[in-house]
Amino acid sequence: MKTVLITGCSSGFGLLAAKKLAARGDRVFATMRDPFGKNRNAAEELVKLNIEVLDLDVTSESSVETAAETMEREGGAPDVIINNAGQMFVGLIEAFTGEELSNQLDVNIVGVHRVTRAFLPAMRKQSKGLFINISSIAGRLAIPFFAIYNASKWAVEGYSLAARRELASVGVDVVVVEPGPFTTELFPQSPHPQDTEHRAKSYPDVFNETFEDMNSAFEGMFSNPEVPTDPAMVVDKFIELIDMAPGTRPFRNVVGVDLGVTERNASDEVHDAPFLEAMHLAKFVKLQTN
C-alpha cells in the first residue's frame, strides 16, 4: 500500500486517480480548493469511498503548508505526490494582461513548487518518494493561442527535469506525464483573456476564424471513439509509474495523441547524459535507492 497525495481532485484526472488508487488499496489524500463549498459534491463523493479529503489551494502558501502538516500528522510522509492541479488559459498573447499571465503561472508552475517544497522535507527524511508532475504535450510543442499555457507547461518540464537530477541523490524520484487532448473539464473551463481593451478585434479575421476552427477540431476529436481521449489512460499511466521499481522510471511519459512528442523526447534523451558529463554532474543522474 502506498500513501498518495493528489492535487486538483475536484474533477478530471485527479478525481479519477483518487478513486482508482483507493480502490486498489492505496491510502489516498485527495486535495482540492474549498471542499466544503464550491467543490462539496466531489469531496463528499470521495469521502464516501473512505478517501481522505484535504483543503489545499496550490496558489496559497499557507494552504499548502497546512495540508502538509495535516498529512504528516495523520498519514506520515507521502510515498507519492501527483501534482495534477492546473488550468489552461487560451487566447491571443496580446489580449492577456501581465496579471493574467501571472495567474496562469501561479497555478501551473508556482503551485507545483509550493507543493514540492512543503512535502519534500518529510520525503527526504525517509530517503524515498515519487513526484508525478502533470505536464502536457503543450510543454514540448507551441502553437498559436496557447502561448500562455505553453509557457507554464514548458516551465513544468524544465523545473521537473532539474528537480529529478537534484533529488536523485536523496532517493526522491521526479517524472512528468505529458497528456495529449483528453475529455476532462480542462477544455470547457479554459479561461480566456478579459481583453478589456479589445485588442483581439484589431487582428485580421483569419485569427478569430482559425480559433473557432480549432475549437471545432477539438470537439470532433473528443466525439470520435477511435481517438485516444479517455482520461482513464492517464490514470493508468500514474499507476504504472507508481508500481515501477525506483530507478527504472522514464522521465517523460506521453499519453494519448502525441503529435510527434514521443520522437522529440527520444531525441532529447540522447543529449542529456553527455551534457551532464560535460558539466561534471554525472553523479546526479542515477536515483539512489535503499
The yes-or-no answer on residue 11 being catalytic is no
Euclidean distance between CA atoms 178 and 268, whole angstroms: 15
Catalytic residue (choose from 10, 63, 136, 160)? 10
Overall number of domains in the chain? 1
> Which of these is catalytic: 149, 152, 159, 160?
149
To the query of whether residue 169 is one of the catalytic residues in this protein, the response is no
Query: Helices 147-168 & 111-125, crossing angle to 10 degrees?
Result: 10
Question: Catalytic residue among 153, 159, 160, 237, which?
Answer: 153
Q: Where are the alpha helices (DSSP H) in 79-191?
A: 98-105, 111-125, 147-168
Residues 6+ apart with CB under 8 A from 181: 187, 218, 221, 222, 229, 256, 257
Burial class (CB in 10 A: 0-12, 13-18, 19+), 239: middle
The residue assigned the cell 511519459 is 253
Residue 251: inside a domain, yes or no?
A: yes
Q: 491571443: which residue's cell?
A: 92
- Model pLDDT, residue 44: 97
Is the pLDDT at 186 greater than 70? The verdict is: no
Give me the half-sphere count of Cα atoms (radius 13 Å) on the Cβ side of residue 106.
Answer: 11
Structural domain including 94 reads 3-284
> Do the Cβ atoms of 33 and 22 come closer than 8 Å?
no
Mind listing the pLDDT tens digit for each residue in 32-73? 999 999 999 999 999 999 999 999 999 999 999 999 999 999
Torsional class of 253: left (φ above 0), alpha (ψ -120 to 50), beta (otherwise): beta
Predicted local distance difference test score (pLDDT) of residue 187 = 65
Strand 129-134, strand 172-179: pairing: parallel
pTM score? 0.93
Q: Is residue 290 part of a domain?
A: no
**Residue 149 appears among annotated catalytic residues:** yes
Task: Read off the pLDDT of residues 230-257 as tens digits, 9 standing for 90 and up.
Answer: 999 999 999 999 999 999 999 999 999 8
CATH label of the domain that carries residue 169: 3.40.50.720
Q: Is 135 a catalytic residue?
A: yes
